Amino acid sequence: MFAVSHLVGFGVRVPVLTGYGSDVTSGATVTALLGSYTNLSNLVDDNTANAVSHNDTTIPAKLKVALTATKQVEQIKLTSSSGNPQRMPTTLKLYGSATGSFAGEEATLLNQSGITWAGSQETKTYQFTNATTYQYYAIECTVSQSGSKFEPAELEMMEGVYD
Ligand SMILES: [Ca+2]
Ligand SMILES: [Ca+2]
């Protein structure tokens, strides 16, 4: 017997979001779309002690994450580095793309402003609605807390789990 909330129309069952899966960034490749970067693999190395290195002051800065397969990401966790929480975004965007071009075909999945970062290796979690499976995502620091750098230590991306 399904809950009433699962039923619409003539008994068509609509999946209900019940939670989020495990991180899907294993094996992902990270490249810079905006900004000059080194150590980009540190974004997804499962170690919050190692951050990416932003070698110029380009803001907005944008990093592309190429997953190993298409995923319907609906949650991200972003962690600040050791000692530089000011190099994190106060305005953050996440985009999804089927092709990885990020030349205008991408969809904006998350646009979060008013973020504040106070601590080292501080993790913030964001959820959003995404009905599409994408292989390519881009995370953008639209406004940096310091005004000049975007140096996250770790990014995790999770799919929604539906029942
Ligand atoms: Ca890391
Ligand atoms: Ca990971």
Tell me whether residue 2 is in a domain: no
Say whether pLDDT at 4 is over 80. no
pLDDT one-digit tens code per residue, 47-79: 999 999 999 999 999 999 999 999 999 999 999
CA of 51 to the centre of ligand 1 (A): 5
Residue 32, token pair as written in the block: 């810079």
Say whether pLDDT at 10 is over 90. no
Domain total of the chain? 1
Looking at residue 81, the DSSP 8-state letter turns out to be -
CA of 155 to the centre of ligand 2 (A): 7
CA–CA gap between residue 78 and residue 86 (Å, rounded): 14
CA of 37 to the centre of ligand 1 (A): 14
Neighbours of 120 (CB within 10 A): 15
Residues in CB range of 83: below 8 A, 6 or more apart: 120
Tell me whether residue 38 is in a domain: yes
Q: What is the CATH number of the domain that holds 129?
A: 2.60.120.260
Task: Check: CB of residue 21 under 8 Å from CB of residue 161.
Answer: yes
Find the domain containing 154 and state its range.
19-162
Tell me whether residue 109 is in a domain: yes
Q: How confident is the model at residue 143 (pLDDT cuts 50, 70, 90)?
A: very high
What is the structure's pLDDT at 11?
80
Task: Check: CB of residue 66 under 8 Å from CB of residue 31.
Answer: yes
What is the structure's pLDDT at 85?
96
Looking at residue 150, the DSSP 8-state letter turns out to be -
CA of 101 to the centre of ligand 1 (A): 25
Tell me whether residue 106 is in a domain: yes
Average pLDDT of the chain? 95
Tell me whether residue 4 is in a domain: no
Residue 79, token pair as written in the block: 């962690």
